[in-house]
Structure 1
Amino acid sequence: MEMFGTALMWATPLTNAAGAAVANPTPLLFGTMQEAEIEIKRDLKQLHGQSQFPVKVAGGKGSINGKAKFATIFGGMLETIMFGQAGSAGIQSVVYDTVGATVATTVTPTPPSSGTWLKDLGVIAAATGLAFKRVASAPGAGEYSVAAGVYTFAVGDAGKIVYIN
């Protein structure tokens, strides 16, 4: 196995969103970091006496800032660190169809990983790359309607290959 990229970034929240101490702080993975930048600034104060050059130099106000860019970010980290929320099970995943389906009067796509259909993201004609128009009911040629994951097409579109997203 080869490691590549900047690194992984972890955080351990010590307080919750209300500022109360967390009883059992749990380390959380931010995600896969691609870039990191740390900037340290400090004012220098110079003491001048009768001389042309300072006789003493000391540090004044300072600040430390950091930036990180990520390839992946884990939602659990955002919930806990940013919003003080508890995580919930499950994910919502977008399915971009690259296989296609042959149109019958109705088509019911099967979501991957035993998932549940949640939202329509459009239908594209494989032959032309043009989007079908979504209508409330009784679709005509080049149109479709959808309810609870069941896509209904016009009889004239039967046999065409479409990408259902």
Structure 2
Amino acid sequence: MQLSFGSGAIWGERTDVIGSGIGPRQFGVLQDIQIDFDWSDKELYGQLQFPVAIARGQGKITGKAKFAQILGLLYSDIFFGVTPATGQFAVSQLEAATVPATTPYTVIPANAASYNDDLGISYATTGKRFNRVTTPSSAGQYSVNFATGAYIFSSADANAAILISYTYNVTTSGNRVTLTNQPMGNTPTFKATFYTAYNGSGTALRLNACTATKLSIPTKLDTWTISELDFMAFADASGTIGYLSTVE
């Protein structure tokens, strides 16, 4: 008797473009997969209560996969249908610093050389937020030189312990996906391969043509982020939906 246990595995590979850098992407740390085959039914009734015939109408194949691993190449290939660039849009959150005791009252954050944008400042002891101004003249005010990443304060905040949050660029590692406003009808496609096994007996499903319909990245206090990607399958150019394979 063939059985299945666990979440199995699923891979997606982009098919609307080919070339270097396009390959299979596995949904890592998979939690669960659900694939539904659904048809509309058309009943034919006469004068009696129950139909005399039933025919299948339109069919639909939908799927959803929940997974924990964050992989930029999967997002770019399978969902957004774009080519990522090497690099990161990085965030430094609550970076500790101290305003100098004497002029100039300037703080240079750790990643100032690749500074991108300001996300605000707070006092380390009280958590009270600073207000960004053109020229700081009192306590709780600061300004930013966006060209250099330097933060400037007034003398009223000399020796103050602060927490700085900002964004910066990383150019040598990671994947950076630029999201653009594509024309309607632009639809990246991929082939999906699902596999699950128990005691050496495997079940495999290949769907030749799929398109992602929804990507959810939920976060929640005190637990892991489990992303969900929903997709639909359709017939490829040869009219084939895919293949279902079992041992028995």
Output the TM-score relative to the length of structure 2: 0.50
CA, structure 1 residues 33+85, in 2 after alignment: closer, same or farther (shift >3 Å)?
same
State the Cα distance separating 1:15 from its structure 2 match.
1.7
Shift of residue 9 of structure 1? 4.2
How do 1:1-165 and structure 2 match up within 5 A? 6=7, 9-16=10-17, 22-23=18-19, 26-30=23-27, 32-44=29-41, 59-97=56-94, 100-104=96-100, 105-111=105-111, 116-147=114-145, 148-165=148-165
Displacement after TM superposition at 1:14 (Å): 1.8
The structure that has the greater radius of gyration is 1
* Aligned residue type for 2:74: M
Q: TM-score, normalised by structure 1?
A: 0.71
Q: Distance in 2 between matches of 1:123 and 1:47?
A: 69
8 Å CA contact 1:7, 1:32 repeated in 2: no
Cα distance in 2, alignment partners of residues 161 and 7 from structure 1: 50
Amino acid aligned to 1:12: E
How many Å apart are 1:143 and its aligned residue? 0.5
User: After the TM superposition, which of the residue ranges 52-61 and 75-84 deviates more from structure 2?
Assistant: 52-61
Q: SS at 1:81's partner residue?
A: helix
Structure 1 residue 90: Cα displacement: 0.7
Shift of residue 77, structure 1, vs aligned partner:
2.8
In structure 2, C-alpha distance between the alignment counterparts of 1:126 and 1:31, rounded to whole Å = 38
Q: In the aligned structure 1, how far is the partner of 2:60 from the partner of 2:89? A: 40
Which secondary structure does the structure 2 equivalent of 1:122 belong to?
strand
Alpha carbons of 1:7 and 1:103: their partners in 2 closer, same or farther (altered >3 Å)?
farther
Aligned mates of 1:29, 1:118 — CA distance in 2: 32
Superposed CA offset, 1:91-136 (max 9, x none): 1121112x6222111111113xx97221111001112111100112
1:138 Cα deviation from its structure 2 partner: 3.5
Q: Which ranges in structure 1 are unaligned for 5 or more consecutive residues?
A: 17-21
1:123/1:57 CA distance change after superposition, 3 Å: same
CA distance in 2 between counterparts of 1:31 and 1:151 reads 40
Alpha-carbon deviations, 1:22-41, whole Å to 9, x = none? 25651124555444332222
- 3-state secondary structure, aligned to 2:156: helix
**2:44–2:54: 8 Å Cα contact kept in structure 1?**
yes
SS at match of 1:64: strand
Report how many aligned residue pairs link the two structures: 153
In 2, the alpha carbon distance for the partners of 1:149 and 1:45 equals 66
Pick the structure with more strand per residue.
2
Percent same amino acid among aligned pairs?
38
